[in-house]
Amino acid sequence: MDSKNDLQQMKNLVQQFCEERDWDQFHSPKELAIGISTEAAELLDLFRFKSNEQIAGQFQDPVSRGKIEDELADVLFFILRFSQMNQIDLPAALAAKLAKNNLKYPVESSKGSNKKYNEV
């Protein structure tokens, strides 16, 4: 199970990696947000034009699964770096967002539905 300590350790690893390379100068909020989007698009591209069966096969194939894991790790890297550089407490931010989403998507009207909050 992941824990807050694991999250802090990951943030520390990312920070150390970047500081050893003197990359702070390149990691403005704008550049890191671009990185999140770019890496998320690279993850998405692995599934583009694939059927559900093909996607399931990707997770069974070690090479394909490795590519998926690499891209997901790249997204996480940029999220961790963004939060580390801008002093964002990710567990607190997630809890606050889930509280907001709980109001937008009450279980009674949202369970089993993929409609947006303004459609339920």
Task: Judge contact between 90 and 97, C-beta under 8 A.
Answer: no
What pLDDT sits at residue 3? 62
What pLDDT sits at residue 94? 97
Please state, rounded to an integer, the average pLDDT across all residues of the chain: 95
- Whether 107 shows a pLDDT value over 70: the answer reads yes
pLDDT one-digit tens code per residue, 5-46: 799 999 999 999 999 999 999 999 999 999 999 999 999 999
Q: Where are the alpha helices (DSSP H) in 1-120?
A: 4-20, 29-45, 52-60, 62-85, 90-104, 107-110
Q: What domains can be seen in the chain, in order of their start residue?
A: 9-88 (1.10.287.1080), 89-120 (no CATH)
Across 28-32, 45-49, 111-115, least confident range: 111-115
